[in-house]
Amino acid sequence: MAGLSLRCGDCGLQLKTVEEAQEHAERTSHSNFVESTEAVLNLVCSTCGKPCRSKTEMDLHTKRTGHLDFVDKTLETAKPIDLEKEVGKDGDGDVGRGDRTEGGNGQLDEMVVPKVDEKLFEELKTMGFSEARATRALHYSKNTSLEDSINWIAEHENDTDIDQMPLVSAKTDSKKPSLTPEEIKIKAQELRERARKKKEEEERRMEREREKERIRMGKELLEAKKSEEANERKRLMFLRQAEKDEEKRAREKIRQKLEEDKAERRRKLGLPPEDPGVIKPSAHPVQEKKSFLPIKPVTKGEQMRDCLRTLKQTHKDDDAKVKKAFQTLLTYIGNIVKNPNEEKFRKIRLTNPSFQDRVGSLKGGVEFLQICGFEKLDGDESIFLARDKVDMSVLNMAGSEINSAISNPFFGIL
């Protein structure tokens, strides 16, 4: 099969024409070019028409433009290379490629088989490799060693031109680059600088893409947060409305119950049902009459509530301590009610550390017990409830007041 491209033996780049090979050689100082039956890719973008010569170039174009559709026109544009054809022979300016390439003076340079190490070449032939494969392996492995040549063959055994004899310019071995070492260093520095600038440009482009992506993600997160907050507000509004509706229904039920109770009382008293159409006369204000009755004394229940309220308000910042004091008082009262004859339940030592921590140090605690009937003894070191002063009604009232103070969350607040 005729060759469709020229491959650079130094970097592996595929080139369509001799002119491209010459330009590549001038830029890189590479001089080893061989004929290849593999055509140079021609992937044309369906959107903008840009041709791409490799998968990598196609991927970069997709990242820059977002274009995804490409048409493979490799076979349409591929042209077989006639290496025997001279430049301008047919007048159309086409350059063929065979065993000769165009030199810098307009003449064709003869293409020859590259020189290889004879000893290594014979060893490879002895191992069963063809002349073309052995020559190609030794040439591209730089004639370093037999092991490197075999490794090269193993890595490139699937190449389409693996069994084609490599060709290089006849001047390759005899003619070295005309550049001086200083010029070579300058060109190498230029190439490195060009590669560095290209890398920096690519990094800046990627950073811009990343910044755009961060901005887009930030906007999406902000929109999602706003949507979530709006949904939460709607949910709260719905719950508040539901609570209002429930409260309204509850009030309506209470009103209906009051109306039914009122009608039932009128029926029991033998009164006719109340006419809803009759407008009730507004009640005249009743002049308050001064009472000359004696003031009703405060009951023990009210005194107990005052003690418990004082205890709660004095220590309103320590709910746990107040609750523990109430539970302790309830325990004292309960023990006496269950075992009124047991003296140990009717006598409390005021200097007891546990009692002081739970009740004695709290304002209103000892006073509550005194209202229940306890009296101080032994120089105010203890309080005692005599058996004949045990009043079950008073103790039950005390237990009821303590339970009410514990269960009512609003006790002592107002």
What number is the average pLDDT over the span 110-124? 84
The per-residue pLDDT for 298 is: 65
171 pLDDT band (50/70/90 cuts)? low
161-170, 294-303, 379-388: which range is least confident on average? Answer: 294-303
Percent of the chain that is helix, strand, coil (3-state, to 5): 50, 10, 40
- Tokens 């820059």 map to which residue? 64
pLDDT in tens, 137-169: 888 888 888 888 888 888 888 887 888 888 877
**Amino acid symbol at 71:** V
Asked whether the predicted pLDDT for residue 259 surpasses 50, the reply is: yes
Q: How many CB atoms lie within 10 A of CB 216?
A: 10
In 156-180, where does DSSP find H-type helix? none
Q: Helices 118-126 and 131-140, interaxial angle, to 10°?
A: 130
What does the domain layout of the chain look like in residue ranges? 5-40+78-169, 300-407
**Domain 300-407 is found in CATH 1.10.357.140:** no
Alpha-carbon gap, residue 324 to 17, rounded angstroms: 99
DSSP code at position 246: H
Asked if 36 and 160 count as a contact pair (C-beta separation under 8 A), the reply is yes
Asked whether the predicted pLDDT for residue 23 surpasses 90, the reply is: no
Alpha-carbon gap, residue 129 to 133, rounded angstroms: 6
342 Cβ contact partners less than 8 Å away, ≥ 6 residues apart: 335
Q: Collapsing DSSP states into helix, strand and coil, what is residue 81?
A: strand
271 Cβ contact partners less than 8 Å away, ≥ 6 residues apart: none
pLDDT in tens, 177-210: 455 677 767 877 887 888 889 899 999 999 999 9
pLDDT in tens, 61-94: 888 888 888 888 877 777 766 555 533 443 343 3
Q: How many CB atoms lie within 10 A of CB 346?
A: 21
The per-residue pLDDT for 270 is: 77
Query: Nearest Cα to 332, choosing from 345, 342, 341?
Result: 345
335 pLDDT band (50/70/90 cuts)? very high
User: Residues 30-41, buried b or exposed e (16+ Cβ, 10 A)?
Assistant: ebbbbbbeebbb
pTM for the model: 0.32
Asked whether the predicted pLDDT for residue 273 surpasses 80, the reply is: no
Alpha-carbon gap, residue 111 to 97, rounded angstroms: 9
The per-residue pLDDT for 95 is: 37
36-40, 116-120, 221-225, 318-322: which range is least confident on average? Answer: 36-40
In 49-145, where does DSSP find H-type helix? 55-65, 74-77, 118-126, 131-140
The dihedral built from the CA positions of residue 138, 143, 147 and 151, taken in this order, carries a sign that is: negative
- Structure tokens given for 195: 């590669």
Residue 344 Cα distances to 336, 339, 341, 373, 401, angstroms: 9, 10, 9, 15, 24
Highest mean predicted confidence (pLDDT) among 33-47, 211-225, 267-281: 211-225
Asked whether the predicted pLDDT for residue 172 surpasses 70, the reply is: no
Q: Which residue has the higher pLDDT, 289 or 226?
A: 226
What number is the average pLDDT over the span 325-353? 90
Asked whether the predicted pLDDT for residue 174 surpasses 70, the reply is: no
